[in-house]
Amino acid sequence: MEQADLVEYVKQLETAFSKTMRKIGPQLANLADGLTPPQFFVLGFLQSRQRTVTEIAEVMGVQPSAITAILDRMHKSGFISRERSATDRRVVEVYITDRGREVYKKSQARRLHVMTHYLGYLKQEELDQLLRIYEKLSRIIEEKPAPLIK
Q: What domains can you pick out in the chain, each with its CATH number?
A: 31-143 (1.10.10.10)
Identify the band that residue 51 occupies on the pLDDT scale cut at 50, 70 and 90. Answer: very high
The terminus-to-terminus CA distance of the chain in angstroms comes to: 25
pLDDT exceeds cutoff 90 at 64: no
| Distance in angstroms (rounded) separating the CA atoms of residues 90 and 148 | 33
pLDDT exceeds cutoff 90 at 133: yes
pLDDT exceeds cutoff 90 at 149: no
pLDDT value, residue 35: 93
pLDDT value, residue 48: 94
pLDDT value, residue 105: 96
Write the pLDDT tens digit of every residue in 92-117.
999 999 999 999 999 999 999 999 99
How many Å separate Cα 6 from the centre of its chain? 28
